[in-house]
Amino acid sequence: MAEVSTIARPYAKAAFEHATEGAELSQWSEALALAAAVTSDPDMKQLLASPALDSAKKAELFIDVCGADLNDGVKNFITILAENKRLAALPAISQAFEVMKAQKEQAIDVQVITAFELTAEQQDILTQKLKIKWQKEVSIIQQVDSSLIGGVIIRAGDLVIDDSIRGKLTRLAEAVNT
C-alpha cells in the first residue's frame, strides 16, 4: 500500500493551489486542521471505516460534524476525498498543506525542547540566530523535558539538532559499544 504522505501530497497541492488562487490560505489552513482533528477522533475513524455507509453519506456526516467552520470549497474537497476513499489521509494532507503554506510565507515553526524553561531574552536570541541561519520568519514552540539534563533539541521540519546532554551521552555510549 502507498505511503500516506505519498497519497496526501497531490491532494494537499491541489488544496494549496485553490487556496492561493482565492487568497484563502489561512481559512483553508484552519479548516484542514479542524478536519484532521475530526478524522483523528476514534469514533470518527470507526465511522469512516464502516462499509455500511457509502462515500456520499460519509462526506455528509463528516461535513456535519465540522459544522459551519468549512467554506464551500473545503466542503467540496471533503466530498472528493470521500469519493476517493481518502478521508483518513486528512491529517497528512493538513500537514503537507502547512509545509507549503510556510514555504510560501517564508516562515518556519521550530520546536525547541530544553531541560529548563527559556527566558524571554534567550528565546529572542535563539529566534534571531535561527532567522539569520534560515532567512525565514521563525516561530518558536517551546517544550520542557527535564530528562534532557541540559542543552537543547531543535526540530524544524525534517531537521533535528540534538545538542542535549542526554543526546551526547547516548552518542558516547554508542561509540564505546561499537
Helix ranges (DSSP H) in the chain: 4-21, 25-40, 42-49, 55-66, 72-83, 90-105, 120-134, 165-177
Is the pLDDT at 2 greater than 70, yes or no?
no
pLDDT digits (tens, 9 = 90+) for 122-149: 999 999 999 998 888 888 999 999 898 8
Cell output for 140: 518558536
b (16+ CB within 10 A) / e for 141-164: eeeeeeebeeebbbbbeeeeebeb
Cell output for 10: 497531490
- Domain topology for 4-102: Peroxidase; domain 1 (1.10.520)
pLDDT digits (tens, 9 = 90+) for 12-64: 999 999 998 988 888 999 999 999 998 888 888 888 888 888 888 888 888 88
Is the pLDDT at 1 greater than 50, yes or no?
no
Could you state, in order of their start, the residue ranges of all structural domains in the chain? 4-102, 106-177
* pLDDT at 143 (0 to 100): 94
What span, in angstroms and rounded, lies between the C-alpha atoms of 81 and 91?
A: 12
Does pTM surpass 0.85?
no
For the domain with range 106-177, which CATH number is right: 1.20.58, 3.40.30, 3.40.50, 3.30.1120?
A: 3.40.30
Cβ atoms within 10 Å, residue 11: 21
Among residues 176, 9, 3, which one has the least CA distance to residue 99? 9
